[in-house]
Chains A and B, each alone.
Chain A
Amino acid sequence: MKEVVTGNHTVSHAARVGRAQVVAAYPITPQTQVVEKISEFVADGIMDAKFIKVESEHSAMVACIGASAAGARAFTATSSQGLALMHEVLHWAANARLPIVLANINRAMGPPWTIWTDQIDSLSQRDTGWMQFYAESNQDVFDSILISFKVAEQVLLPAMVVLDAFFLSHTAEPVDFPEQEVADRFLPPRVAEYTVDPEHPAAFGGLTGPDHYYELKYMEHNAMLEAREVIERTTREYGDLTGRYYKMVDPYRCEDAETVLVVSGTIASTTKDAVDEARDNGKKLGSVKMWTFRPFPREEVRALLLGKKRVAVVDRNISFGQEGIFCTETKASLYGRDGAPPVRGFIAGLGGRDVKVRDLLAIAEAAEEEDCPEFNWYGVKP
């Protein structure tokens, strides 16, 4: 069933169709419509869930942790400062191996106050053990959330689906919602093990010394690695049901490309137009959309980029004192491999500055220069 709906409301629908049982969330621009819509669903009885109107994002994540530990399917949504406030317990959720799903509206960090998009908020959480998916469109948002629930519950790691503030959150696009029965077939109710249950008393998360902690982390990391196969399998299953197949790294006109742009989020969408325009002008440009950031799809990145003439990574984020984060991670996957192309990083679009087709073409052109620096700050005003 196709509807024209904003990114935020898409998130609400995904939580509803995905049968989230406990939602604990705190409002923050530009996420507020997510929770408002969920409130309506719950009040109207079309969503069978408890919505805990917590008093902060930290408590939102903690309440999700409690609910998930009890065996319920837990969901929340936030952005920027709110996600940062959750940081301490994002670690807790992952280390406790709880399959919570979170939708993050990518919003730049203050100060100064800003409500527009960039990826520093979510990328700052990359080491917490959460899976991360970067959505390109509202359809992507919906599908990613459903896929995330299933993958998370299988590997016992939480997942966040990330979407750009305003470009997706407040922009209405056509979204095809699968029927509830189709969704239920894909995503049956959670079957939780190791829950907080009076019939099987145990302590969870007690003091653990060096003798055991190390192996628990080893298991956690392996779960992330296992997630790669689970994501592959699950996206195939989802594709068979809906006709939409997602790839962890999604190439666009890459096969014979000389220059490949590595992009994510809505920039990935714009890049396709840039690629088409470049191709029309005889340029062998291609792009690769990073849909999955954690677990980092190293194999897929290598398969697509090794042997290419050059790579330009467009980062709507920055790790101060280093470079763009997708750039660093891409380089790390290619390091020391035969056929590893030169990789140039370009920062663009921080704080919601628009990245247009012509910007991407300019970046591709700059990357072609022999003396193009390794790290570039695109379009800084003098």
Chain B
Amino acid sequence: MADLPKKLTIPAEEYMCSGHLACQGCGAALAMRYALKALGPNTVYTVPACCWSVIDGPFPFTTLGVPLFHIAFEAAAASACGLAAGLEMVGKEGVNVVAWAGDGGTADIGIQALSGAAERNDNILYICYDNEAYMNTGVQRSSSTPWGAWTTTTPARHFKNRPKKNLVDIMVAHQIPYVATAAMAFPEDLVAKVKKAKDIEGTKYMQIFASCPPGWKMAPEKSVEVVRLAVNARVWPLLEVERGVYKISRKPRKRTPVAEYLKLQGRFSHLTEEQVNEVQKMVDNNWKRLLFLEESTHEMAGIPLEGAKAASPKKIDPKLKADL
């Protein structure tokens, strides 16, 4: 077997196969691909109703190279808790137990079970891949849909006029050891965070921003670029919260205006200039809030801000270099 290319910044080994049913350019497929690389084969997944229930393929086939236990919509976290307890009782030590759910199954119908698991600090890794709507059932709004977005239940003349539910802060409030955000446009960061999370004892929560070309009404080839823009425009900040201490993973020096991010997507095309400015204001305020949280939580914990370790990798891919 030939030597692997030297420029690899993420592990080469794959734990899923081609032939899956994701749409062209699916962000959720990329998110899964990277998460699996970080987790390795000693892993079990439990997946509630969401795109991945279907992407994995129909019975009697599967896409993942690790077990996938399908479960009811609201139940991902509880299923993971049960699996974790059961695996331990039958003597299978050290298995990564992952609940892998969309934003609907996390922020809405699944939030009770997630909150319960986090309050108990059960030893599970909960990963929400967030494409900001109920995509699997045809793009209906979720509480994770951002302000201003079109969905089939928030048509343009009645667009979603409530802010995106802040799951990060909700999970931080549960006082669990690790909360983080990631995005499939930044695979190295995602892999590093999942690797870190899986070795922590207790409940770990990660939210991975994942583009959805059909649901966001955009060209599939821009699938990675749009998420890159989201992060650089600070619409989706990459961060970690370890034991309540906030650490922003990536502070884009060049401030990308949100308009650049929004204009790639048909789901925002109805917004007026004024409304786009509203979005910019929300994003700016949220960023200020995060900077404040970063500073104050570091201070309370007695950790100097500069010295804090981020999960960001040493290898930086060429595209990232351009922005820093």
CB atoms of A and B under 8 A apart anywhere in the complex? yes
Is B81 interfacial (CB-CB < 8 Å)?
Answer: yes
- Whether A54 and B83, one on each chain, are in contact in the complex, defined by CB atoms closer than 8 angstroms, is no
Is B219 interfacial (CB-CB < 8 Å)?
Answer: no
Is B241 interfacial (CB-CB < 8 Å)?
Answer: no
Q: Which of B23-31, B70-78, B210-218 contacts A (4 or more CB under 8 A)?
A: B70-78
Is B115 interfacial (CB-CB < 8 Å)?
Answer: yes
- Whether B67 and A202, one on each chain, are in contact in the complex, defined by CB atoms closer than 8 angstroms, is yes
Chain A proximity of B77: nearest CB distance (Å): 8
Q: Knowing A65-B71, A205-B70 are in contact, say whether A198-B43 is a contact too (CB < 8 A).
A: yes
Q: Residue A206 contacts which of B70, B115, B119 (CB distance < 8 angstroms)? A: B70
Is B90 interfacial (CB-CB < 8 Å)?
Answer: yes
Give 1 or 0 for each of A46-79: 1 = CB within 8 Å of chain B CB: 0001101111101110111111111110100000
Q: 25 A-B pairs, CB-CB below 8 angstroms?
A: A22-B86, A50-B88, A52-B82, A52-B85, A52-B120, A53-B120, A56-B113, A56-B116, A58-B113, A64-B82, A66-B46, A66-B86, A67-B89, A70-B89, A88-B72, A196-B69, A196-B87, A198-B44, A198-B67, A201-B41, A201-B62, A203-B64, A204-B70, A206-B60, A206-B62
- Whether A62 and B75, one on each chain, are in contact in the complex, defined by CB atoms closer than 8 angstroms, is yes
Give 1 or 0 for each of A200-217: 1 = CB within 8 Å of chain B CB: 111111111100100000
- Give the one of B65, B90, B115 with max A CB within 10 A: B90
- Whether B78 and A54, one on each chain, are in contact in the complex, defined by CB atoms closer than 8 angstroms, is yes
- Whether A212 and B59, one on each chain, are in contact in the complex, defined by CB atoms closer than 8 angstroms, is yes
Is B80 interfacial (CB-CB < 8 Å)?
Answer: yes
Question: Complex: how many Å from CA A204 to CA B71?
Answer: 9
Question: Which residues on B sit within 8 Å (CB–CB) of A50?
Answer: 85, 88-89
Q: Knowing A62-B79, A204-B70 are in contact, say whether A22-B85 is a contact too (CB < 8 A).
A: yes
Q: Knowing A62-B82, A65-B82 are in contact, say whether A198-B53 is a contact too (CB < 8 A).
A: no
Q: Residue B82 contacts which of A63, A203, A207 (CB distance < 8 angstroms)? A: A63
Closest Cβ neighbor of B46 among chain A residues: A66
Is B112 interfacial (CB-CB < 8 Å)?
Answer: yes
- Whether B87 and A70, one on each chain, are in contact in the complex, defined by CB atoms closer than 8 angstroms, is yes
- Whether B92 and A70, one on each chain, are in contact in the complex, defined by CB atoms closer than 8 angstroms, is yes
- Whether B81 and A56, one on each chain, are in contact in the complex, defined by CB atoms closer than 8 angstroms, is no
Is A21 interfacial (CB-CB < 8 Å)?
Answer: yes
Q: Which residues of chain B have a CB within 8 Å of any CB of chain A?
A: 41-44, 46, 53-54, 56-62, 64-72, 74-75, 77-90, 92, 95, 112-113, 115-116, 119-120, 122
Q: Residue B112 contacts which of A56, A71, A92, A203 (CB distance < 8 angstroms)? A: A56
Q: Which residues of chain A have a CB within 8 Å of any CB of chain B?
A: 21-22, 24, 49-50, 52-56, 58-60, 62-72, 74, 88-89, 92, 192, 195-198, 200-209, 212
Q: Residue A207 contacts which of B53, B77, B92 (CB distance < 8 angstroms)? A: B53
Chain B proximity of A78: nearest CB distance (Å): 14
Question: Complex: how many Å from CA A203 to CA B64?
Answer: 8
Closest Cβ neighbor of B21 among chain A residues: A207
Q: Residue B58 contacts which of A58, A60, A208 (CB distance < 8 angstroms)? A: A208
Question: Which residues on A sit within 8 Å (CB–CB) of B60?
Answer: 206, 212
Q: Knowing A88-B72, A201-B67 are in contact, say whether A59-B112 is a contact too (CB < 8 A).
A: yes
Q: Knowing A52-B120, A53-B120, A62-B82 are in contact, say whether A203-B70 is a contact too (CB < 8 A).
A: yes
Closest Cβ neighbor of B41 among chain A residues: A198
Question: Which residues on A sit within 8 Å (CB–CB) of B113?
Answer: 55-56, 58-59, 62
Closest Cβ neighbor of B57 among chain A residues: A206
- Whether B86 and A203, one on each chain, are in contact in the complex, defined by CB atoms closer than 8 angstroms, is no
Chain B proximity of A5: nearest CB distance (Å): 26
Question: Which residues on A sit within 8 Å (CB–CB) of B115?
Answer: 55
Question: Complex: how many Å from CA A198 to CA B148?
Answer: 43
Closest Cβ neighbor of A192 among chain B residues: B90
Chain B proximity of A139: nearest CB distance (Å): 29
